[in-house]
Structure 1
């Protein structure tokens, strides 16, 4: 039994025993959790929320009452390649939407942009103080380069978050 089959089997056991489920991925992979969430949705659960706990990413699922949702068994997982966590083309779009939603919810837990700006500016000032030994021009250059680098990373993250939000809201 490979790792994907063990994950699916553990998920199906959890789905059979409870009215809620918590999926956790220590690596924080939204793609893996999106596939497992898709499997849970096929067995009568719906996505509730996602959040980070340290480095791990957790997804919470809630049971919904559906007439066609029977007891879960490992033989009935439509839309996945057998023995893997890879969706077939007919399920790829649904898994992609779930992945986007999980990523967006996980990003909401991240510290705000303002606190990151303060932290990064503090780091750039520290670099500038370290460069003061070499002279004020080196300190000014070091501060400017560090601040520009940090701000470009923040801008890229904000742009990524906006794209995800647009895709999630367009899918709803």
Structure 2
């Protein structure tokens, strides 16, 4: 019985301040906000890198190999017969040498752009791989981003992001008159 009274007496006699607890919770909240800001920066920068890689792939895939595209026995009846027989169109050929140059130019434009599409955290876009088989194109890029805040209790101040995009051109079926699709 004396032990119970002693315990009750100890707990009811506590003196102190909540300031230490409040300051601790404030520091935890600030540290959490810093980490969330860094994570959001990574997500937005990843999206920006994917957009840059997609733009480079689209620009590269539009490099038409005119000598391969305009060869063959095409007549006025080739397109209507292909439409009636449900025959697939031949893939649109890509000039791979020109595509490499176009991809590099587009990535250079994105690296030097100060507009709203490119995040300022992206330090530089690097072309890591480009595969071209004549009908499709695959572009891989790499970029390093700097965090706005250094993560508490860590020395990590940057992250490496990669993006890979594939693209190809396809013929759309239909009847076009002066660039306007009628069917």
TM-score, normalised with respect to structure 1: 0.27
Asked which structure has the greater CA Rg, the reply is 2
TM-score (normalizing by structure 2): 0.26
Report which of the two has the higher share of helix.
Answer: 1
Bigger relative contact order, structure 1 or 2, given CA contacts below 8 A and separation 6+? 2
From the two aligned structures, give the one with the greater strand fraction.
2
